[in-house]
Amino acid sequence: MIYLFVGIFSLSAHAYDLKLKQFDQEKLADLIGKLPLTVRTRVITDIYGPVEGISVKSEFPKEDVGFKAVCESKYFNNSPYASSSVCTMTVDEQHPNVDTKYDEFKLLMADATTAAALFEHISYGRPEKDFRSFGKDKGLTFDGKTTYIFHYRFKCSAESCVMNFSKIIGRDDDQ
């Protein structure tokens, strides 16, 4: 039991939590909520109070690929649209799928099932589709260029996805 606890603690010690703006959380929750249950988990609980509704918590992806997005959306009065959504994203810096360079994390997701699900539900682009945050920071990209880095960016084909994450979310320009 002690070895299990130490193993879990050491894995989480290298995790990097991305702090997303509210708009980006809602955008991400909308995308993840549309993905099939083959690539995400979903738990639905009832909300009781002045207004009844449901809370839907989704985790994506199901597999350990180097990042995890957890979103919770609340729906009231049988609305098809969420009244509020909160998402957290975590990147495991030590995962073999995650490359770190300059101010960016880069992850290649080669699982065809997960990539196809993302590709099908991202609205824009052909033959690759691009889903990115509104939030961005000025820094050095994975390629060494000084420009704006999106807090998250998924560039997907039907076979694979390249995901980039900012390492400098919230950093002041003076630092």
In a domain, 2, yes or no: no
In a domain, 4, yes or no: no
Q: CA dist 118 to 22, 143, 172, Å?
A: 21, 24, 32
In a domain, 172, yes or no: no
Number of domains in the chain: 1
Interval 3-24 mean pLDDT: 64
Percent above pLDDT 90 for the chain: 51
Interval 117-121 mean pLDDT: 92
* Greater model confidence, 4 or 152: 152
In a domain, 8, yes or no: no
pLDDT band at 169 (very low <50, low <70, confident <90, very high): low
In a domain, 173, yes or no: no
Please give the residue range of the domain that contains residue 24.
13-166
> Above 80 in pLDDT, residue 72?
yes
Contact by Cβ (8 Å): 147, 168: no
In a domain, 104, yes or no: yes
pLDDT band at 13 (very low <50, low <70, confident <90, very high): low
In a domain, 31, yes or no: yes
In a domain, 82, yes or no: yes
> Above 90 in pLDDT, residue 51?
no
Give the pLDDT score at 18. Answer: 84
